[in-house]
Amino acid sequence: MSVGEKVDVMAHDISLPELTFRGMFLGMLLTAIFTASNVYLGLKVGLTFSSSIPAAVISVAVLRMFKNSNILENNMVQTQVSAAGTLSAIIFVIPGLLMCGYWTHFPLWQTFLICICGGTLGVIFTIPLRRAMVVHSDLTYPEGRAAAEILKAGSVVPGENNKEKVKDDENGLREIGFGTGIAALTGLCSSGFRLLSGEISWAFMAGKAVFNVTCGLSLALLGAGYLIGMAGGMAMLIGLILSWGIITPYFSSLVHIPAGMSMVDFAYSVWSSKVRLIGTGTIGIAALWTLLMLLKPVIDGMKEMWENTKRGGDTAQNLHRMDTDLSPKWMGIIFAITVVCLFGTFYTFVEAIGFSFGLTVAFTCLGTFLAVLIGFLVAAACGYMAGLVGSSSSPISGIGLIGIIISSLAILLLGSTQGIFSTPEGNKFAIAFAIFTTSVILATATISNDNLQDLKTGLLVGATPWRQQVALMIGCVFGACVIAPVLNMLYEAYGFPGAFPRPGMDPSQAMAAPQATLIET
């Protein structure tokens, strides 16, 4: 390539750096920031955001300082960071192990292995779906497209005049720094110095019905809402109107307010015990329907991958660079290692209860089988929903509900034959084991949700799929390293509903962990 010659990043034979050490290092730093933010936000209000777009903005600005940075390298950074940020959705389930009293803290290695094994399965299971759901599909993948446009607008292209792009990136970094400073100052004044109120609630009665109006000050939610977009925001607004304007008043009109309970507390109790279950059931049915609708794309993707494998190595070598996934051989090796690690993780979890060796192995096999089977089934559903509404708006909570129901039924069947429900310890173990299994399933679901979104970005900017799949696995490793320490830190600082590390802690300051509370219930 001569000096000043414009590079076609969609070409088969290019020499641009793509998966680099400096990119992975930047991705590691951004992973720590966005994963910690997502863990806090998810435990506080039950909502996480996709880190693809902010990671893409930061990457194109930072890597601009290096002479040979390019759009493919920037794409790998956002791919890695988005995987780690998405993996943090595991906090929707795993705190239930503390709430049910089975854990007293988050064990570092078990939490790490849950995240990395579930995340790796999510990558492996969605590789056969890439052609059917990304290349040959009309699904929009809104966040994937948005990230691609940011990368195209900001990345340096050899042979082009990039002065305007450099100026735009400098402005973008200043805006990110300004937003970070404002959010930190607001959080310090509200949660630290208590100079600002984070939430104000007001309830009133109309006849026998109780209406509740809540106003909150949260710049984190403001930013998350911007990332979710108008469609997701309107869906949440409609849900808010239905739950607090219609369903909660209806159920509250059927019973009397208990003596000594305020109207605000009464409204929240009705919402928690009735309305939230209705919404979760709706999500669960929608997820099941999606699974049924996606059987054909799953089968088509598996057939195409198998046909390419049967054609032999020469055909694989003749494929365009942008159409090469991880080879079936490497997929098989990674899958086998992951299943072995998953088996070991389940074994250490079950062994702690003190069952006989045979029963311990039986529960270990059951947990591993459920995690792999259900994880495979939900991978397509999550990838499809990400294509429709984006990763941030995908109903992962419904996947968690399906996982806990199926796991509980299987555990009930095995446990009843072995008489483990005859003791309080056995009952507690059954609940904890179902939550533990669902944690792995949810980790698989969240990465499946993110993988195809990132592969869509890669398709639009000229990335090599197998390198992106490696970057996704690297992101899972970095994310898993961050999640457990941050979970422990937040638990020690705030606690969860019904689970506090020390006596005398203020329950009003506890992290709500709404989905985990529902699953534990």
Answer for the pair 452, 126: CB distance below 8 angstroms, yes or no.
yes
Q: Select the more confidently predicted residue: 145 or 295.
A: 145
Q: Residue 314 pLDDT more than 60? A: no
User: Of 334, 417, 339, which Cα lies nearest the Cα of 371?
Assistant: 339
Q: Residue 88 pLDDT more than 70? A: yes
Q: In the prediction, which pLDDT does 347 show? A: 94
496 beta partners: 499
Between CA 77 and CA 71 the distance in angstroms is 10
Answer for the pair 88, 467: CB distance below 8 angstroms, yes or no.
no
- Angle of helix 424-461 relative to helix 396-418, nearest 10 degrees, comes to 150
Mean predicted confidence (pLDDT) in 7-36? 82
Between CA 210 and CA 241 the distance in angstroms is 14
Most confident listed range (303-312, 434-443, 488-497) = 434-443
Between CA 48 and CA 33 the distance in angstroms is 13
User: Of 409, 474, 512, 466, which Cα lies nearest the Cα of 23?
Assistant: 474
Q: In the prediction, which pLDDT does 366 show? A: 92
Q: In the prediction, which pLDDT does 463 show? A: 86
What pTM does this model have? 0.76
Q: In the prediction, which pLDDT does 86 show? A: 78
Q: In the prediction, which pLDDT does 131 show? A: 78
Maximum pairwise Cα distance, the chain: 82
Dihedral in degrees, nearest 10, Cα atoms 38, 39, 44, 46: 70
Residue that is written with structure tokens 């079950």 in the block? 350
For residue 508, what is the DSSP state? G
25 burial via Cβ count (<10 Å: 0-12, 13-18, 19+): exposed
pLDDT cut 70: percent of the chain above it: 74
Residue that is written with structure tokens 């397509």 in the block? 380
Both tokens of 456, joined, read 């869509």
Q: In the prediction, which pLDDT does 348 show? A: 93
Average pLDDT, the chain: 78
Q: Residue 301 pLDDT more than 70? A: no
Q: Residue 1 pLDDT more than 90? A: no
Q: Residue 324 pLDDT more than 60? A: yes
Give the model confidence (pLDDT) of 426-435 as tens digits: 888 888 898 8
C-alpha R_g of the chain:
24
Both tokens of 61, joined, read 């600005």
pLDDT cut 90: percent of the chain above it: 8
Distances (CA, A) of 58 to 21, 150, 171, 175: 17, 10, 11, 11
Both tokens of 74, joined, read 């920037």
- CA-angle at 489, arms to 123 and 516, nearest 5°: 60
Q: Residue 117 pLDDT more than 50? A: yes
Q: Select the more confidently predicted residue: 212 or 517.
A: 212
Between CA 290 and CA 381 the distance in angstroms is 6
Between CA 31 and CA 13 the distance in angstroms is 31
Answer for the pair 34, 60: CB distance below 8 angstroms, yes or no.
no
Between CA 321 and CA 466 the distance in angstroms is 9
Taking the mean position of all CA atoms in its chain, how far away is CA 229? 17
Give the model confidence (pLDDT) of 35-47 as tens digits: 888 888 778 766 6
106 backbone dihedrals φ, ψ, rounded to 5°:
-95, 105
Q: In the prediction, which pLDDT does 313 show? A: 47
Mean predicted confidence (pLDDT) in 68-72? 83
pLDDT confidence band for 338 (50 / 70 / 90): very high
Amino acid in the structure at residue 460:
L
Question: Which residues, 6 or more positions from 30, have their beta carbon under 8 angstroms from its beta carbon?
Answer: 51, 55, 58, 59, 77, 81
pLDDT confidence band for 498 (50 / 70 / 90): confident
12 backbone dihedrals φ, ψ, rounded to 5°:
-75, -45
pLDDT confidence band for 160 (50 / 70 / 90): low
Give the model confidence (pLDDT) of 227-256 as tens digits: 556 766 787 788 888 888 888 889 888 888
What are the start-end ranges of the H helices in 155-203? 163-187
Q: In the prediction, which pLDDT does 2 show? A: 40
Please name the helix (run of DSSP H) or strand (run of DSSP E) that holds residue 480, with its range, or none.
helix 465-493
pLDDT confidence band for 490 (50 / 70 / 90): confident
Q: In the prediction, which pLDDT does 231 show? A: 67
Taking the mean position of all CA atoms in its chain, how far away is CA 377? 17
Mean predicted confidence (pLDDT) in 48-55? 76
Q: In the prediction, which pLDDT does 323 show? A: 78
